Amino acid sequence: MAKKDKGKSKVTVYPDWCKGCGICVEFCPAKVLELNAQGKCTVVREEDCIRCGFCELHCPDFAIVVRDKEFPQKDKSENSDKKTATGKGA
Amino acid sequence: MARRKKRKEIFALGNEAVVEGALLAGCSFYGGYPITPSTEIMEIMSARLPKTEDGVFIQLEDEIASMGAIIGASLAGRKAMTATSGPGFSLMQENLGYAIMAETPVVLVNVMRGGPSTGLPTCPAQGDVQQARWGTHGDHPIIVLSASNVQECLEMTITAFNMAEKYRTPVILLLDEVTAHTREKIEIPNEGEFEVFSRTIPSMPPEWYKPYEETVRGVSPMPPIGSGYRFHVTGLTHDRNGFPSQRPEEVVELMERIHRKIDQFFYDIQLVEEIDTDDADVVVIAYGCVARSAELAVQQARENGVKAGLLKLKTLFPYPRRHTERVLAHAKSLIVPEMNMGQMSREVKRVNMGRVPVRTINRIDGQIVTPSEILKVIMQG
Amino acid sequence: MSEITGNEIIHQYLRHNKKFPHVLCAGCGHGIVLGTLIRSIHSLGIPRDDVVVVAGIGCSGRLAVYVDFNTIHTTHGRALTFATGIKMANPKLNVITIMGDGDALSIGGNHLIHAARRNIGVTALVLNNNIYGMTGGQSSPATPLGSTTMTSPYGQLDKSFDTVELAKGAGANYVARGTVFHVRKLEKIMTEAIARPGFSLVEAITPCHTQYGRKNKYKSPVDMYKWMKKAAISVERYEELPEDQREDRLPIGVFVAKDRPGFEERYFAMKAEFQKKTVKGGK
């Protein structure tokens, strides 16, 4: 889906909120996630994440967050331009 | 002193007077379902409310929905009411309990007809008195008012709204078919001649606001939905913030508080009218259209040399214990006439505790208790 | 700092004084519906103060307490009646009801059809998990024929309700169905449903593994998501399927999309007419 984004994302799982249902693990196309010994979701192959967003959208407990890794070369002005272009804030 | 402005006089049904009273009290939302003998209230509301500045009238699919809609409207800041009779009153019990638990002011008028079940749809009765007190499940406080003539229908409707708003609670106005369908001359009070109470709106910052907290007035202020005070409303037992709680100490706090907010203001809530009770040997305790018969009977008894008096109950619940105690100080006997098998006489006997004989007159045939019936019992001594 | 997306948006809308994770079972789709609802509201840019979430009773009824909107947890089946009152009392509010299948179709069935007929401007989310979950797994009007439940131990004998057909028949303005597997699609229809005038109904198919799945040959919550993935088909493609292949398929998408003005719009338009007349007639 978004192969070009591979390796650019940081995947965070909140173990306190995870109930270990396994939906994210089962459907992750890049097999980034696994259930650990406690039955909770953990990130094992973050570099393979293609940022399809499935796990974040399908986590019933809002326990996964996928966001950009902080890249030092990121152009700040470009970012702020993008923000104004989006128009209405929430 | 300025001369009192002449009051407008109209020739109205009891049900019509309820509407007049409601509009004077600031009612701006009516949700209902037609049922005899309360339907005129709904019909007149459907014509009147849309023509008022902000009035909303809606006919719902049933009485359950009617009660739900008026609670919703009340949460959104409206003074809301519904009216029904017998079977409809049974259907409203579910959400009536919700209004008690969520402390939502609404007014429910029940025009009593013969029951149980479909019963006597077009005949009067007073069979819903204890249902009004205990109809919804769970231990709960409730305010139940009544009216015995058309003028009182107007006045007690205003009172019902005031009490609902003041104590954040549903108030039931119990009428009977005779009172609701009597047409007589009434006076519409002018603005300023009667009290109108509206719920207090919070003024503190939203994060400080607690919707279910005890205050000096008894209850927390109540903001309309959408005004920036976002909170949770539930029928579950809840904490001061409105969030569900099962902790025994929080449950007790809530339950005791919703009882106390009514109990502690008994002097404001318990309304009666006393006629010739000061020196009465025989006191008739009555309410609704029966009180009207009783008034004439007491007058005729006096003409016949019997010291009779009438304690007319305008508030049925919480039962006016104090007023009953006062007449019991000198009364030698009590008479409780009513159109049921003895629902209010239970309350009277509970307060009397065997001190004086309590005689009852009960009719369940869809006919009123007549003055002569009451007079006969008074004259028996 | 990069823009906030995904679950971080949702975190901003959760009530921070409530305990998390929420009360629902592992793998329950209700959380996904709640997340989707929050994203829809966020994308429409509706201020929190203007959103009223009215929930019924049951597992779905517990969702309201977790979100920082005006939230009302009503009685069983009656969410739409409260919502009707709120919308009529203040038409500016965005009123969204969350109901379960038992809530909306059984005890609240009458309110549902009348809300649709009346076209009151409320968005009704029906979270269909085919079972009464909170009371321990009894059969609901959406339990499929033959399923085993606590009150149909020998198999469900009666046919289940088709929520979409019911709402269509009752005249709803907007009717759509989604699943919690197809979240983006669900978000799209939910956003559209909230934005539209009149009565909108969105049925969200959400699995209940604890009470339904386990007794009906779904080994894990994941199996139920696999079933949704397999069974769901867009309504357009479903219509093209020959009759004999339609069984066991679940059409999702938008079924009705009209723009009839809501009941509240018609009511207040009538009122405005009266007010105009009084101004004209005034001396």
CATH no. of C6-281: 3.40.50.970
Question: B8-188, superfamily in CATH?
Answer: Thiamin diphosphate (ThDP)-binding fold, Pyr/PP domains (3.40.50.970)
Q: Which residues of B touch C12 (CB under 8 A)?
A: none
In this chain, the answer to whether the domains covering B8-188 and B272-379 adopt an identical fold is: yes
Residue B241 with chain C: CB contacts under 8 Å: 17
Question: Are C143 and C131 in contact, with CB atoms under 8 Å apart?
Answer: yes
Q: DSSP letter at B244?
A: B
C→A contacts (Cβ < 8 Å), by residue, are 2-3, 5-8, 10-11, 14, 20-22, 24-32, 35-36, 42, 45, 180-181, 183-184, 220-222, 225-226
- Residue B5's pLDDT is 85
Q: Do A62 and C7 touch (CB under 8 A)?
A: yes
Token readout for B165 is 């708003």
Query: Residue C48: what are its φ and ψ, rounded to 5°?
Result: -55, -35
Q: Please give the Cα distance from B199 to B190 (Å, whole number).
A: 22
Percent of chain C with pLDDT over 90: 93
- Going through C6-84 in order, the beta strands assigned E by DSSP cover 51-55, 70-73
Q: Is some CB atom of chain C closer than 8 A to the CB atom of A90?
A: yes
Please judge whether A62 and C181 are an interchain contact, meaning their C-beta atoms are less than 8 angstroms apart. Answer: no
Print burial letters for A45-77: b (CB count within 10 Å at least 16), e (below 16).
Answer: ebeebbbbbbbbbbbbbbbbbbbeeeeeeeeee
What pLDDT does A8 receive? 87
In this prediction, residue A7 carries a pLDDT of: 84
User: Does the distance separating the beta carbons of B95 and C78 come in below 8 Å?
Assistant: yes
| Cβ neighbours of B64 in C, within 8 Å | 78, 81, 111
- B164 within 8 A of B170, measured Cβ to Cβ: yes
Q: Taking CB atoms and an 8 Å cutoff, what residues of chain B touch C114? A: 60-61, 65
- The pLDDT value recorded for residue A56 is 96
Taking the CA of residue C248 and the nearest CA in chain B, the distance in Å comes to 35
Please report the pLDDT score of residue B3 as a whole number. 65
The answer to whether residues B91 and B130 touch, using CB atoms and an 8 Å cutoff, is: no
Tell whether pTM > 0.90.
yes
Cα-Cα-Cα-Cα dihedral sign, residues B205, B207, B211, B213: negative
Is A touching C (3+ C-beta pairs, cut-off 8 A)? yes
Closest listed residue to residue B233, CA positions, set B97, B104, B93: B104
* Domain layout of chain C by residue ranges: 6-281
Query: Which residues from A are below 8 Å from C25, CB to CB?
Result: 19
Measured distance CA(A20)–CA(A26) in Å, rounded: 11
Judged against a pLDDT cut of 70, whether residue A72 lies above it is answered with no
Chains B and A make contact, 3+ CB pairs within 8 Å: no
Q: How many angstroms separate the CA of residue C21 from the nearest CA in chain A?
A: 5
Instruction: Compute the nearest-CA separation of B347 from chain C (Å).
Output: 32
Amino acid of residue C268:
F
Q: Report pLDDT digits (tens) over B360-378.
A: 999 999 999 999 999 999 9
pLDDT tens-place string over residues A25-36 = 999 999 999 999
Query: Any idea of the CA torsion for B166, B169, B170, B173, to the nearest 10 degrees?
Result: -50
Question: In angstroms, what CA-CA distances link B75 with B19, C89, C261?
Answer: 21, 9, 24
A66 touches chain C (CB under 8 A): yes
**Positions in chain C short of pLDDT 50:** 1, 282-283
- Nearest-CA distance from A57 to chain C in Å? 7
Per the CB < 8 A criterion, the answer to whether B166 and B33 are in contact is no
In whole angstroms, what is the distance from residue B247 CA to residue B238 CA? 9
Residues counted in chain C: 283
The chain A residue lying nearest C31, using CA atoms, is A60
Residue C53 distance to chain A (closest CA, Å): 19
Q: Rounded distance, CA C118 to CA C185, Å?
A: 27
Q: Which of C19, C46, C66, C75 has the most B C-beta neighbours within 10 Å, making it the best mutation to test the interface with B?
A: C75
The radius of gyration computed from the CA coordinates of chain C, to the nearest angstrom, equals: 20
Instruction: Look at B232 and C114 and tell me if their CB atoms are within 8 Å.
Output: no
Rg (CA), chain B: 21
Which ranges in C119-179 belong to alpha helices (H)?
Answer: 163-169
Q: How deeply is C223 buried, as exposed, middle or buried, from its count of CB atoms within 10 A (0-12, 13-18, 19+)?
A: middle
The residue in chain C having the minimum alpha-carbon distance to the alpha carbon of residue A39 is C26
Which residues of B sit within 8 Å Cβ distance of C?
29, 31, 50-51, 55-56, 58, 60-62, 64-78, 80, 94-95, 98, 224-228, 230-236, 241, 243-244
Report the SS3 class of residue B317.
Answer: strand
Output phi, psi for C277, to 5 deg.
-60, -40
Token pair 């009238």: residue: B57
Residue ranges in chain B modelled with pLDDT below 70: 1-3
Is B272-379 a domain of CATH 3.40.50.920?
yes
Neighbours of chain C (3+ CB pairs under 8 A): A, B
Which residues sit opposite C130 in a β-bridge? Answer: none
* B244 contacts on C by Cβ (under 8 Å): 65, 73
Cα separation of B124 and B180, whole Å? Answer: 9
Selected for mutation to probe chain A from C4, C7, C225 (highest A CB count within 10 Å) is: C7
Give the C-alpha separation, C32 to C178, whole Å: 12
Report the amino acid identity of residue C228: M
Query: Which of A18, A21, A57 shows the shortest C-beta gap to C221?
Result: A21
Q: Spell out which residues of chain C touch residue A57, defining contact as CB-CB under 8 Å.
A: 6, 32, 35-36, 183-184
Q: How far apart are alpha carbons B84 and B184 in whole angstroms? A: 22
- Number of Cα atoms under 13 Å in the Cβ half of residue B194: 22
In this structure, are residues B70 and B29 in contact, taking their beta carbons and an 8 Å threshold? yes
Reply yes or no on whether the pLDDT at A90 is more than 90. Answer: no
Q: Where are the domains of chain B?
A: 8-188, 272-379
Domains recognised in chain A with CATH numbers: 3-70 (3.30.70.20)
* Coil, helix or strand at residue B188: strand
What is the per-residue pLDDT across B263-318, written as a single tens digit (0 to 9) for each? 999 999 999 999 999 999 999 999 999 999 999 999 999 999 999 999 999 999 99
- A69 band by pLDDT with thresholds 50, 70 and 90: confident
Give all strands of the β-sheet with B282-286 in edge-to-edge order: B272-275, B308-313, B282-286, B333-338, B358-362
Chain A nearest C-alpha distance from C272 (Å) = 32
Pairs across A and C, CB distance < 8 A:
87
